[in-house]
Each structure stands twice: as structure tokens, then as C-alpha cells.
Structure 1
Amino acid sequence: MTQRIDYQKQAPELFRGLVAVNNLVKQSSIEESICDLVDIRASQINGCGFCVDMHVKQAVMHGERPLRLHHLAIWRESTLFSPRERAALAWTEALTQLSPQGVSDEVYERVRTQLSEKEITDLTYAVMAINAWNRINVGFRSVPGSFDKALGLDKAGLA
């Protein structure tokens, strides 16, 4: 696979803006481990190989257990995720695959029992950010692993 467009070069100011949003999300009230799960799950749904590759490596570097990463695609059936993580994953899926009816009251209530209003808002921005990255990397066919060295992801030991 060959990348179609170097979007960083073509729109550097927009790229920097998206990086800035991403950096703010990482400083939000949502813990790093949940941000990692959200990034991977949304990227799986969107078929973004570049982002799945990147965020799995980041999660490993952050100490995530490999079995939980394998179970992420089946999180509903897995016993490896906390109620808070399950709520975040349900919210991620609902916002990534918007239904014509919107987000159900059931999903919202599930999230509301596990996260504060501030955390739900921050989580929503996290989901928005990864979906933006997924769309640009899928659209321009970014090659998985192509920025590992520049991003320090080669240290994950997963090559």
C-alpha cells in the first residue's frame, strides 16, 4: 500500500490543529488506559490499519496487557474490562457508528453511571479526535508502521 497524499505537508496548519486537539484530549479527565482502548476500538470499527497499529503499540508501551488488547474486539463477552471501561467502549461505539436514531438512552445511562458529566464530555472529544484521525488516515491510505521510529513506537517491541 502506498500513501495517497502527505496530508501533513498539504495542510500543515490543520494538521497542527488536530494534533493540538489530540494533546488536549490526552490531558483531559479520561485516564490514559481508557484513551488507549477508545483509540483502538474506534480504529477497529473504522478499519484504520494505521491507527490500530499505532495505538496498540502505544497501549503496550503504556503497560496494557496483551490479552486485553486481543479481547477488545469482543469486549462485551470478555470479563477483562471494568464497568467504567465498558461504558467508555459503549459510548465510543455509539458515537463512531451513529445510528439514525442517535445515541440510545440505554447507552447514555450506562455511561452516566460510570463517568461524570465532565468525563463524558472529555470522552466525547476523545472519540471525535480518533474518528478524525481515522478518516484522514483511511482516506489517504497511511501505511501502518510508517512513522514508528519518528513517534518512538519502535520501542514497543512489536515489529
Structure 2
Amino acid sequence: MSAERRVHLARSARPAYDALAAFSSTVKQVATEAGIDARLTEIVQIHASQLNGCAYCVRVHVDRAVAAGLDADTITQIAVWRESGVFSERERAALELAEAFTFIHEDGVPDDVYDQVGGILTEAEYVALSWILVSINAFNRIAIAGRYPVPPRTAPAVPVA
């Protein structure tokens, strides 16, 4: 079935989608209060979206990452963060948490991941990142289920020098 013939959840039950959008705004406020900046927020949202195979959300969050100041090298290294040297210890902990939340059905958040991440992030950061990951995973599922097409770019993804 083509994307045009699928139910578009955001349009078909607008109050439910609006509630999710309001939830996302609340999560952003919690993240800001916990000291989670736009850079880290976009890094984890890109990674969760990559892991889920949500091209729509990857595009949206890559564009937001560029607006937040991430460069092309950092963005391209997200998928291979374990082998990359471009991420801070805090960012690596957040990426580890992103994987645990995205694949939560496999083993929850394993104790070793919880302990490792908890040894790097403050409790407030852990909580905020967890809610960011709950939110992006929900949005990924909506876009994937509806086979939302990748949105066109309104501006270049990489600033032109």
C-alpha cells in the first residue's frame, strides 16, 4: 500500500497528535531545565530515528542539528559513534541511552548501561534524556506507520562556506 493510501495519524486524530506535540514541548522544557542543550537533544533524536529506520525524522532532526550548530562530520559520525572520536563522554552516554530506549523491548535498560550512563549523567540529565527518547520513539512510530515521505529541504543541510 502506498503512503498516499495510508491513514495519516497526525491528520486523522488531530487532538491525539496535538497532545503528543504538547508532550514534546513539555519534554523540551524539562530538558532545558536539566541542562540538555539543542546539540545533545538532536544527536540522540537523530540516532534513535536512524535505529528505528525513520527517514522522515532523520531529515527533520538533521536540519535541526545544523541549525543548532552541528557540522556535517559530527552528524555523519552519529551512526558509528562507538568507533568515532568526535563525541564527548556525556554525548557517548546519551547515545548509549538512546540505543537502550530504542531497543527497550529486548532487555529494558540493562543494569550495566544504567550504571555506566548514571555514572556520567546527572539524575536530571538522565531523566530529561529518557523523556526525549520516549518522545522521539513515539514520533518515529507515527511517521513509519504512515510511511511519511522524507520532507524536502527548505535550506541546505550543511552551511555553505
Same fold (TM over 0.5): yes
Partner of 1:138: 144
TM-score (norm 1): 0.89
Quick one: distance in 2 between partners of 1:116 and 1:158? 32
Offset from partner CA, 1:98-147 (integer Å, 9 cap, x none): 2543222221112112211121111111000000000010000011115x
The 5 A counterparts of 1:1-159 are 2-3=3-4, 4-27=6-29, 28=31, 29=34, 30-98=36-104, 100-145=106-151, 154-155=154-155, 157-158=156-157
Q: Percent identity?
A: 37
Residue 20 of structure 1: CA displacement? Answer: 0.8
More displaced 10-residue stretch of structure 1: 76-85 or 20-29: 20-29
Offset from partner CA, 1:4-27 (integer Å, 9 cap, x none): 222222111111111111112222
RMSD (Å) for aligned C-alpha atoms: 1.7
Offset from partner CA, 1:53-107 (integer Å, 9 cap, x none): 1100110111101101111000001000000000000011011012543222221
More displaced 10-residue stretch of structure 1: 57-66 or 113-122: 113-122
**Count of residues in Structure 1 that have an aligned counterpart in Structure 2:** 152
Match of 2:83, SS?
Answer: coil
TM-score (norm 2): 0.88
Aligned amino acid, residue 138 of structure 2? A
Distance change in 2, residues 1:42/1:77 (3 Å): same
Q: List gaps (5 residues or longer) in structure 1.
A: 149-153
More displaced 10-residue stretch of structure 1: 83-92 or 16-25: 16-25
Contact 2:118 2:126 in 1 (8 A): yes
Moved over 6 A (4+): none
More displaced 10-residue stretch of structure 1: 127-136 or 22-31: 22-31
Q: List gaps (5 residues or longer) in structure 2.
A: none
Contact 2:62 2:157 in 1 (8 A): no
